[in-house]
């Protein structure tokens, strides 16, 4: 083994690079917030890994799924992932909540860097790479949001892409470039999928490489490193700081796992471009501030809220190292800059909060939001992924029950009907899933309870009459 390591090191020099990384000096006293950049990198790795697994089953097509023409291929593939792929719902949840956490972590990390004044000379390039990381992270979240092709993602994207038309000179061209036409359509889905899977991740990896290379080259910023300030004492990165960094990464992973286990990634009714149900579009939560700001201005000033103000904000972030060229980094010596940044953040938080509390309809959380759940579209995927191994023609056919078909479910078994249409509280299928039948173990047997949202989907189907397609 030593020979293999030596051979590889002689040709790559990797050992020297790792050694330099492990011994490079860092401040002796650090805050967990100093490792938010590493937490963001961990979340990106989670997105890449889970995204690869999702791509193995996802079909980026808005064409109708032949067995169920009301469903698109994209939507049906999400159902397949959630209900038929083993642990598919876990992978999708990790990807969904990972995207949301990554937005939060990246923005919080930038605020931390801003507060410490770590954007100043010689760290301008590091700061600019960080601004690019935020913009691409938001773009990844926006392009990925459309992929389920449900009502929520379709109409949120339709509104978002329509905003491109307010850009001067190239607005209409940009809108049709991303949509593929005047309106959101199947071309929009494939273009967003290619951006989400190919271009944007490549750009993000490039910026991560630049950002972390500059951090390693320049070391961690010292708040007291301005003129005349004493240098902080330093220690080697390994083992002290490395241990603290790992704790932050593990804490991030714990939050992600908790969110994925407790909250199912949303999927509402299939996208309807005609919007016969009069679905009201709701933007992504990190764009709520724009949604709310537009309510305060007349319609003819929409370009100001959509293009001008965000554009000024991005330019201000990029120009910050060039505008604030003083040598002091302490917040107490940068009061005007800190005050301006604090007001901007307070305004964004306030507008985001108002956006949350004034949305016209509550954000649906699961398939429960479908107006007319069906056996094949809603219930059968749940049963086939969790119950038919025991209650099916090849799974023992326990108690005469066969959950592979609608007729089999409605027939019930030797112990009587398992579904009483219109009465979930009398339906054994619902009662067993909720653990309310004495003497009957929790189902699915040996796998733990189903997510409550799935049980609610089954209960709603029964409540509405347990009808077939």
Tell me the CATH class for 21-367: mainly alpha
Cis previous bond, 256, omega within 30: no
Distance CA 368, CA 366 (A): 5
Q: Report helix, strand or coil for 273.
A: coil
- What 8-state DSSP symbol labels residue 68? E
pLDDT of residue 399: 65
> Contact at 8 Å (CB) between 292 and 351?
yes
DSSP code string of 14-35: HHHHHHHHHHSEEESS--GGGG
Give CA angle at 385 (383, 386), nearest 5°. Answer: 65
Distance of CA 116 to the CA centre of its chain: 28
Query: Could you give the residue range(s) of every CATH 1.20.810.10 domain in the chain?
Result: 21-367
Give CA angle at 196 (191, 199), nearest 5°. Answer: 85
Distance of CA 361 to the CA centre of its chain: 21
Phi, psi angle pair for 45, to nearest 5°: -60, -40
CA distances from 156 to 143, 227, 280, 360, 444 (A): 11, 50, 9, 14, 36
- What 8-state DSSP symbol labels residue 162? H
Distance CA 188, CA 62 (A): 9
Number of H helices, E strands in the chain: 19, 4
Low pLDDT (below 50) residues in the chain: 223-230, 361-369
Distance of CA 410 to the CA centre of its chain: 38
> Contact at 8 Å (CB) between 25 and 154?
no
Over its C-alpha atoms, the chain yields an Rg (Å, rounded) of: 26
- In terms of DSSP bridges, do strands 234-236 and 25-27 run parallel, antiparallel, or are they unpaired? antiparallel
Distance CA 380, CA 454 (A): 11
Q: Report helix, strand or coil for 233.
A: coil
Long-range contacts, stretch 435-442, CB < 8 angstroms, 24+ apart: none
- Neighbouring CB atoms inside 10 A of 342's CB total 14
> Contact at 8 Å (CB) between 95 and 50?
yes
CA distances from 284 to 281, 352, 453 (A): 10, 10, 21
Contacts of 425 (CB under 8 A, 6+ apart): 431
pLDDT of residue 134: 94
Of 112, 315, 122, 125, the residue nearest 212 (C-alpha): 125
pTM of the full predicted structure?
0.75
pLDDT of residue 53: 95
> Contact at 8 Å (CB) between 367 and 373?
yes
Indicate if the alpha-carbon torsion angle 48, 50, 56, 61 is positive or negative.
negative
Distance CA 453, CA 434 (A): 11
Distance CA 252, CA 249 (A): 5
Distance of CA 15 to the CA centre of its chain: 36
pLDDT of residue 361: 46
């Amino acid at each position: 083994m030593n020979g293999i390591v030596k051979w590889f090191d002689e040709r790559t020099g990797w050992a020297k690079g790792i050694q330099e990384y492990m011994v490079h000096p860092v401040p002796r006293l650090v805050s967990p917030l100093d490792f938010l950049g590493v937490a963001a990198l961990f979340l990106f790795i989670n997105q890449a890994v889970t995204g690869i697994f999702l791509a193995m089953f996802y079909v980026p097509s808005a064409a109708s799924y032949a067995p169920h023409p009301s469903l698109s291929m994209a939507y049906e593939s999400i159902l397949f992932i959630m209900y038929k792929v083993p642990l598919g719902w876990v992978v999708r949840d990790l990807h969904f909540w990972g995207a949301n956490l990554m937005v939060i972590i990246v923005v919080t990390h930038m605020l931390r860097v801003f507060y410490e004044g770590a954007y100043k000379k010689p760290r301008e390039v590091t700061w600019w790479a960080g601004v690019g990381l935020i913009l691409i992270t938001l773009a990844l979240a926006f392009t990925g949001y459309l992929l389920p092709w449900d009502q929520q993602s379709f109409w949120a994207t339709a509104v978002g892409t329509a905003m491109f038309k307010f850009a001067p000179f190239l607005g209409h061209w940009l809108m049709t470039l991303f949509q593929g036409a005047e309106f959101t359509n199947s071309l929009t889905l494939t273009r967003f999928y290619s951006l989400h899977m190919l271009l944007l991740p490549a750009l993000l990896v490039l910026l991560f490489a630049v950002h972390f290379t500059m951090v390693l080259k320049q070391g961690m910023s010292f708040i007291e490193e301005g003129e005349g300030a004493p240098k902080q004492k330093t220690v080697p990165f390994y083992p002290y700081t490395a241990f603290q960094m790992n704790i932050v990464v593990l804490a991030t992973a714990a939050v992600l796992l908790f969110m994925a286990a407790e909250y199912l990634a949303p999927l509402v009714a299939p996208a309807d471009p005609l919007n016969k149900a009069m679905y009201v579009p709701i933007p992504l939560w990190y764009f709520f501030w724009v949604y709310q700001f537009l309510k305060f201005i007349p319609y003819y000033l929409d370009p100001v809220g959509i293009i001008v103000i965000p554009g000024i904000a991005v330019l201000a972030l990029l120009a910050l190292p060039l505008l604030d060229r003083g040598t002091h980094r302490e917040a107490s010596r940068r009061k005007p800059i800190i005050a301006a940044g604090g007001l901007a953040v307070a305004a964004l938080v306030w507008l985001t909060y108002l956006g949350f509390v004034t949305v016209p309809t509550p954000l649906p959380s699961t398939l429960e939001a479908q107006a007319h759940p069906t056996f094949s579209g809603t219930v059968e995927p749940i049963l086939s992924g969790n119950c038919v191994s025991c209650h099916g023609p090849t799974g023992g056919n326990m108690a005469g029950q066969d959950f592979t078909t609608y007729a089999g479910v409605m027939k019930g078994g030797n112990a009587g009907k398992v579904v009483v249409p219109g009465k979930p509280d009398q339906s054994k299928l619902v009662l067993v899933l909720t653990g309310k039948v004495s003497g009957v173990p929790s189902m699915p047997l040996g796998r733990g309870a189903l997510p409550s949202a799935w049980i609610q989907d089954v209960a709603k189907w029964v409540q509405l009459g347990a009808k077939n397609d």
